[in-house]
Structure 1
Amino acid sequence: MSGAEIPRAVLFDLDGVLADSEHLWDRVRREVTAEFGGRWAEGATEAMMGMSTPEWSNYLVTELGVRLPAQRAAETVVERMAEYYRTDPPVLPGAVETVRWVGRRFPTAIASSAPPRIIRAFLEVTGLDEVVGHTVSSEEVGAGKPAPDVYLRAAEGLGVPAGSCLAVEDSGNGLRAAAAAGTTVVAVPNPHFPPAPEALALASHRLEDITHLPEVLDGSA
């Protein structure tokens, strides 16, 4: 699908696109690293963006020195993130309305590196479980972003070729994953962790925030 064509389906990342949560993941991972004997390293934040849960929990242990089994490190981080979603869900302004607008017009999926538990919590707290037709966590496909697996599986779940999908991403690894899957990529750059210029160059559109997506989809942007 070229940037000028109307997509047959829309695939959303979660963290940084619909939820203002990338900085929360970073905060919690830093806390767990400090509490359990590890030491944060320069570049660790960027390295873990897009990783699946098994990948980033292993990174905490092997690269940052967290003194927990990788599975326990993952459980600790995810439980703390789940508490944020239960008490003060970090929904980005306009995200729910935008997904509802898209969902009325296109088959819609979430393709995220977040664990299934976090994806479900987000959908339930926002009521978007009635709108989003399919979800895939990179935990379920074996390789996190920048590998294209999560986007390929999400497109497959909707019954639409990835090349006919539009994907919305905020991070460098996410943009690379969506492009590698063959989707048309829309970037909503993360203000906390801006993607590298070479990753942004993979996007056909760059949006200031998610509320401008309907303008892209109806051809006015």
Structure 2
Amino acid sequence: MIDVSIEAVVFDLDGVIIDTEEVWEEVRRGYVAEHGREFLADSQDRMMGMSTGEWSAHLADEVGVPRTAPQVAADVLGRMAERYRQDLPLIPGAADTVRALGGRYRLALASSSARILIDQVLATAGLTDEFEVTLSTEEVPRGKPAPDVYLEAVAKLGLTPGVCAAIEDSSNGLRSAAAAGLTVIAVPHGVYPAAEDALAGAKLVVKAITEVTPEVVSNL
């Protein structure tokens, strides 16, 4: 077997760098309730990893919010941006981990967040210049768990999936990275644990993002 060295690391954003899954759920549940509707039993799990177009369509078409999907997206993204302006929920040690890995590897970001939120988060956190490539699932045909966003991020780096590692937390994110052929590092979220089948696709499972050091990546 030929040894392949990792050349780049592709980060997810929500749940890996910023702890926003609970914020997303709170904002979207509140928005849905204002319109007299309720989440479906599987809405939260399904929306984790969906692109903006996909989750807004879910809330409009399946949950029944009486607004068009583009209107739902604009409403919810506006509320999320306001929450980020008030208090950016950076995961402890995440920014330092990004910088440490950036000292040895090329970095990209593949997120289900909208472009406006990605840019705002990275600017606020002082991480914009750490990433060569940043990509939203809005900018590819399909959101996670489809592999599109990871394949495009790798392509923009000019690399192949086999020399790239991905850091993910959610079931759909883990499935996306694995389907794209990257070496997957799982950092499961404590409140929204990943499904067993999704974790099975990871080469390494850690308890905290701070465990993902350059040395750990080099040993994958």
**Same fold (TM > 0.5):** yes
- Structure 1: tracts of 5 or more residues without a match: none
Alignment of 1:100 onto 2:69: no
Instruction: Note the C-alpha offset of 1:25.
Output: 0.7
Q: What pairs with 1:103-118 in structure 2 (closer than 5 Å)? A: 103-118=102-117
Give 3-state SS (helix, strand or coil) of 1:110's partner.
Answer: strand
Matched, 1:64 2:58: no
Residue 207 of structure 1 is matched in structure 2 by 206
CA distance in 2, matches of 1:208, 1:114: 23
Structure 1 counterpart of 2:42: 43
Deviation readout 1:20-69 (Å, 9 max, x if unpaired): 00111111111111112322211110011110000000000111111111
Q: In structure 1, what is the Cα distance between the partners aligned to 2:125 and 2:145? A: 27
User: 2:212 aligns to what SS in structure 1?
Assistant: helix
Q: Deviations over 1:154-201 (max 9, x none)?
A: 111111111210000000000000000000000000111101111101
Maintained 8 Å contact 1:37/1:65: no
CA distance in 2, matches of 1:163, 1:49: 25
Q: Distance in 1 between matches of 2:51 and 2:23?
A: 16
Structure 2 partner of 1:168 = 167
C-alpha separation between the residues in 2 aligned to 1:85 and 1:155? 28
% identical equivalent positions: 48
Normalised TM-score (structure 2)? 0.96
In the TM superposition, structure 1's runs of 4+ consecutive aligned residues that sit over 6 Å from their partners are none
Q: What residue number does 2:75 align with?
A: 76
1:33 to 2:32 alignment: yes
- Bigger mean CA deviation after superposition, 155-164 or 7-16: 155-164
Gaps of 5+ in 2: none
Q: Distance in 2 between matches of 1:85 and 1:104?
A: 27
- Residues 116 and 136, structure 1, Cα contact 8 Å, conserved in 2: yes
Tell me how large the CA RMSD over aligned residues is. Answer: 1.5
Q: Which residue of 1 aligns with 2:216?
A: 216
- Distance in 2 (alpha carbons) for counterparts of 1:71 and 1:139: 12
2:134 aligns to what? 135
Preserved CA contact (<8 Å) 2:142 2:148: yes
Shift of 1:216: 1.5
Q: Pick which of 70-79 and 31-40 moved more.
A: 31-40
